[in-house]
Each structure stands twice: as C-alpha cells, then as structure tokens.
Amino acid sequence: YLQAVRTILGYKNGFVCGCLVYFSIFKTGVVYTLTCATSMRAILQSNCYHKEGHDAACEFENKYYMLMFGIVQIVVSQIPNIFHTKWLSIIAAVMSFTYSFIGMGLGL
C-alpha cells in the first residue's frame, strides 16, 4: 500500500501517509486495550453488585486488566506462522459469534 502511494504521489506524501497509517494502527491498539480493560472491569463490577447489592463498594481499577490484556497480546504475537494455525481461526470465529449473541441477548 505504501509503495503504491510513494509511486503515485511521491516520496514525501508516501512518508506522510506511512506515518498516518502507523499512528492509526497504534491508536487502534491503545483503544482496543482500554476498551477491553473497561469491559472486564464492568463485568466484575456488575457481578459484585449482584452478589453484594447496589450499596456495596464495588470499585475495580483498569491497570491490572490492561496489563493482563497486554501480556496476552504479547504471548499471542509470539506464535510462529500465525496465519497457518487453524485453532486460532476457530477460536476467533467462536468468540465473534459469542459477542454477537451476547449483544443480541442484551438488546432484547
């Protein structure tokens, strides 16, 4: 993609485009990590409220969950030849369907 931009628009515009693309990828990773940590915290808080009642002090921090999610990302990124692992594709598909069914169930 970046080679096509450099060829058509020149080196300077290709460099600018590359910086914007990499910044967008970085930003997406940060937002994804924060969203995951916030979601895990919300699930724990909801479980605490159901067990202890709404008057309980159910406060959890995001730091632990961001760190845990980051460690999982690092471990998964070390899998060699990730594009030929059938089990990973199956897990991703099951998770996607699970998220869809949870969203549909909450929406009803």
Q: Is the pTM of this model over 0.85?
A: no
pLDDT digits (tens, 9 = 90+) for 1-50: 778 888 888 888 888 988 999 999 999 888 888 888 888 888 888 888 88
pLDDT digits (tens, 9 = 90+) for 60-106: 777 887 888 888 888 888 877 767 778 878 888 898 898 888 888 87
62-70 long-range contacts (CB < 8 A, ≥24 apart) are 62/34, 62/37, 62/38, 65/36, 65/37, 65/40, 65/41, 66/33, 66/34, 66/36, 66/37, 69/33, 69/36, 69/37, 69/40, 70/33
31 and 67 fall within a common domain:
yes
70 and 91 fall within a common domain:
no
51 and 92 fall within a common domain:
no
55 and 108 fall within a common domain:
no
45 and 94 fall within a common domain:
no
Q: List the one residue out of 58, 61, 59, 57 whose CA is nearest residue 37.
A: 61
Count of structural domains, the chain? 2
85 and 68 fall within a common domain:
no
31 and 53 fall within a common domain:
yes
* Gyration radius from the chain CA atoms: 20
39-47 long-range contacts (CB < 8 A, ≥24 apart) are 40/65, 40/69, 41/65
Domain holding 73, by residue range, is: 2-77
85 and 73 fall within a common domain:
no
